[in-house]
Structure 1
Amino acid sequence: MIVVCGEALVDLFVRRDGATLATEAVAGGSPYNVARGLGRLGRRVGYFGGVSRDAFGDFLLEGLARDRVDLGLVRRVPNRTTLSVVATGADGHPAYAFYGEEGADRALDPADLPPTPPDLSAIAIGSYALAVEPAASAIERFLARDAGRAVISLDPNLRPRVIGDIAAWRPRFERFVAAAAIVKASEEDLGPLYGEGAALEVVAADWLARGPELAVFTRGARGAIAFHRRGAVVERPGRPVSVVDTVGAGDSFHAALLAHGDRNGLLARSALAALTEAQIAAALDEAVAASAITCSRRGADLPTAEDVAAALA
């Protein structure tokens, strides 16, 4: 089983409808999307996160269940669901507001870790749950307990507005990097952490020196590039696609990267350490294809295994 840790929230889209406001609630949160993406790709996956007992929380759990995500690790809490509100003004430009103080997705208690699944193969972590308490401490404790049993895959998926002082958070982020076997990030993630224009090869070298076997960077329409601990550098191009939006594209990439590894017996430290350039290229191709499919759809509508196979064919 792959266990995904992190936040689940609701994106609330608001638009003017005459004298009233019309709203649309969409399930979201990067780790939540990754969990659903893995389920759609046919992998055995569980979600470990705090989910409210309110109506929004029920809505979030229904989405996980539809995509065959194991709910046994979910922690139902009385806290309200975090809302990310997107309102379009009269000028057509979106305005964002975030309502997450004491939200359910932050309310993981380090003392309430679930038992280790007997078939645990990987733990996927990421986004702002790694920076807000007590969730960040709970995830750190989970990794400290089970990192020896599972491959850790990290996607920082930075949300600077939520994290706040990134310089103060960076030492904790580097602890997460050191625990990981795979670090996947977008080029956009690097600016807040290392300054605009940070060179991918420099960042990759820093990360790999801390312990991971593989550092992967997504580059939008230009595809992806991976750096391996043994020195291999593998680039794969993007895929032509009519972009509807890019919501969930990075999450789809992460899910497909892990699904490929799981399906091919690569989610073990020894296997990752011995990856060939051909194996890395195949994994990147599958992840790029999944991401492109998501970009062709509205919202974080991640593909199935059949969708990806058809695209690669």
Structure 2
Amino acid sequence: MTVAQPTVLVVGEALIDVVPDAGGQPQDYPGGSPANVAITLGRLEREVRLVTLLGDDPRGALIRRWLQASNVTVLAQPTGSGRTSTAAVTLDETGAASYVFDLDWDLSAVPDHECDVIHVGSIATVLDPGADTVLDAVRARRDRSVVSLDPNARPAITPDRTGPVARVEELVALADVVKVSDEDLLWLHPEHDPVQTATRWASQGPGLVVVTRGGEGAVAVRPGGATLEVPGVPVTVADTVGAGDTFSGVLIDALLQLGVHGPGGREVLRSLSDRDVLGAVTTAAIGAAINVSRPGADPPSRAELAAALGLPPAGGEAGEE
């Protein structure tokens, strides 16, 4: 008998990254943090839907084709402006990316699709008016789905921290899995060490908070304050576009393999051994390293990730319930 695969619902922005080429000419690349997470899961052969906004324009069509090519089901509402949102990208000498946004986020509703995991994050969680819709979607599904959160800080969109901090804190209390960079934590709570903030978060609802530190690896924090260190993965960096999103998507996939999904997923997550958690976070770091080794947001396929882990290529069902 065929066992139904867990489904993931991602809610958030999809946009065009406008990146200068070697000659300084702007080039369009599909992106957006939640869209990148959806792409990662699609390439890992997961059943994933993305609720987003797209303009009725060539850029919107480009994004739709990009998502569908990685087997993401696109549930897109039209933007109020008719234009697809953009992010002008600047890369520094290390390949680190910064962004200037032209963003439309007036999401009015999230379709009532059942899911085993709901993932939200980035601009979609803090930019009104759509942020309220995202919060309502999380609240409506929390009792029957595992909640994943990636609260990217975007000072260019919300220069005043007050509103975003309050909204992120509210979502953290509803979340089961939180992936956040040390830079984002320092922007949200500059008065505290990032791991200190993550430890507080892990005491307020989540079963796992992972702090990513770029090339320095990651720290996983569990309820009760236990911290697990994951070293950085040596890699030649092309750029960092989509690195954190790939990490989030691979982490969700690794936890799905451990049975963290659906109504009982919250309890499964808390019962995992430290070894299982370390394995999931290490796998996510390896997936992110593959992404940064090539230009733009380009997450690994299932076969590429298996090869990097030294595993035979196969589907992702082992260990699922």
Output the TM-score relative to the length of structure 1.
0.89
In 2, Cα distance between equivalents of 1:291 and 1:169: 26
Matched, 1:36 2:65: no
Which of 8, 18, 21 is 1:12 aligned to?
A: 18
In 2, Cα distance between equivalents of 1:295 and 1:15: 17
One-letter amino acid matched to 1:261? L
User: 1:87 offset after TM fit, Å?
Assistant: 6.7
How far does the alpha carbon of each residue in 1:259-307 deviate from its partner, in whole angstroms, 9 at most, with x for none?
1111231231010111110110110111011011111101111111111
In 1, Cα distance between equivalents of 2:70 and 2:157: 28
CA contact (8 A) 2:242 2:297 kept: yes
In 1, Cα distance between equivalents of 2:69 and 2:183: 31
Structure having the higher helix fraction is: 1
- The correspondence of residues 1-313 of structure 1 with structure 2, limited to 5 A, is 1-14=7-20, 22-71=25-74, 73-79=75-81, 80-86=83-89, 97-100=100-103, 103=104, 106-109=105-108, 112-117=109-114, 120-195=115-190, 198-267=192-261, 268-313=265-310
User: 1:164 offset after TM fit, Å?
Assistant: 2.4
In 2, Cα distance between equivalents of 1:98 and 1:113: 23
One-letter amino acid matched to 2:77? R
User: 1:200 offset after TM fit, Å?
Assistant: 3.3
In 2, Cα distance between equivalents of 1:238 and 1:96: 25
Q: Secondary structure at the match of 1:210?
A: coil
Distance 1:42 1:193, change over 3 A: same
In 2, Cα distance between equivalents of 1:87 and 1:276: 41
CA contact (8 A) 1:232 1:277 kept: no
Give unmatched runs, 5+ long, in structure 1: 89-93
Output the TM-score relative to the length of structure 2.
0.87
User: 1:22 offset after TM fit, Å?
Assistant: 3.5
How far does the alpha carbon of each residue in 1:140-168 deviate from its partner, in whole angstroms, 9 at most, with x for none?
11112111111111111111111221123
One-letter amino acid matched to 1:189? D
Distance 1:96 1:192, change over 3 A: closer
Answer with 7-16 or 43-52: which moved more.
7-16
User: 1:47 offset after TM fit, Å?
Assistant: 0.3
Sequence identity percentage: 36
In 1, Cα distance between equivalents of 2:276 and 2:170: 28
CA contact (8 A) 1:54 1:78 kept: no
In 1, Cα distance between equivalents of 2:236 and 2:28: 25
Give unmatched runs, 5+ long, in structure 2: 1-6, 92-96, 311-321
User: 1:95 offset after TM fit, Å?
Assistant: 8.9
In 2, Cα distance between equivalents of 1:290 and 1:255: 9
Q: Secondary structure at the match of 1:174?
A: helix
In 2, Cα distance between equivalents of 1:283 and 1:246: 21
In 1, Cα distance between equivalents of 2:98 and 2:119: 30
In 1, Cα distance between equivalents of 2:90 and 2:223: 44
Q: Secondary structure at the match of 1:157?
A: coil
Aligned residues: 297
In 2, Cα distance between equivalents of 1:147 and 1:97: 33
CA contact (8 A) 2:239 2:296 kept: yes
Distance 1:127 1:95, change over 3 A: closer
Distance 1:12 1:273, change over 3 A: same
User: 1:14 offset after TM fit, Å?
Assistant: 4.1
CA contact (8 A) 1:43 1:262 kept: no
User: 1:224 offset after TM fit, Å?
Assistant: 1.1
CA contact (8 A) 1:244 1:295 kept: yes
One-letter amino acid matched to 1:13? V
CA contact (8 A) 1:294 1:303 kept: yes
CA contact (8 A) 1:116 1:146 kept: no
User: 1:97 offset after TM fit, Å?
Assistant: 3.9
Aligned-pair RMSD on alpha carbons? 2.2
CA contact (8 A) 1:85 1:97 kept: yes
How far does the alpha carbon of each residue in 1:38-72 deviate from its partner, in whole angstroms, 9 at most, with x for none?
1001111110111112111111111110000112x
One-letter amino acid matched to 2:275? A
In 2, Cα distance between equivalents of 1:62 and 1:128: 22
